Amino acid sequence: MLENLRNVFGLEYQDVIWQSLFSIICQKLWKQKNLRIFQGIHSDAINIIQAAWWIPPLTGSIKLNVDGACNPSSGLASSAVVARDEHGRWF
């Protein structure tokens, strides 16, 4: 896993930052595995990988990606927001 995060093989895809893409694909594969195990929902791996690509906003716009999670038993919750422009620059 650490070798993949370090991109020791020099893998590239257009202007996508490899560490971001690798972690997004891992998260999506983990989520799909849980959907298959706990809800019986099946999906093809290629669909999961294609869904990992970030789609930029219109020129002059900012795109917000939001996610959150909560633990009902403890009452704890967390959320995160990422803002990027059409070039993928972080705010």
> What are the pLDDT digits (tens) for 38-67?
988 887 766 766 666 677 889 999 999 888
The number of angstroms, rounded, from the C-alpha of 56 to the middle of its chain's C-alpha atoms is 14
**At residue 74, does pLDDT exceed 90?**
yes
**At residue 72, does pLDDT exceed 80?**
yes
% helix, strand, coil for the chain, step of 5: 35, 25, 40
Cα-Cα-Cα-Cα torsion 7, 11, 17, 19, nearest 10 degrees, comes to -30
Name the residue with tokens 């849980």: 34
Question: What pLDDT score does 9 carry?
Answer: 59
β-pair partners for 65: 82
Q: Give domain limits for the chain.
A: 1-53, 56-91
**At residue 75, does pLDDT exceed 70?**
yes
The overall average pLDDT reported for the chain is: 78
β-pair partners for 81: 66
**Residue 43, phi-psi category: left (phi > 0), alpha (psi -120 to 50), beta (remainder):** beta
Question: What pLDDT score does 59 carry?
Answer: 93
Q: Compute the distance between CA of residue 27 and CA of residue 33 in angstroms, rounded to an integer.
A: 10
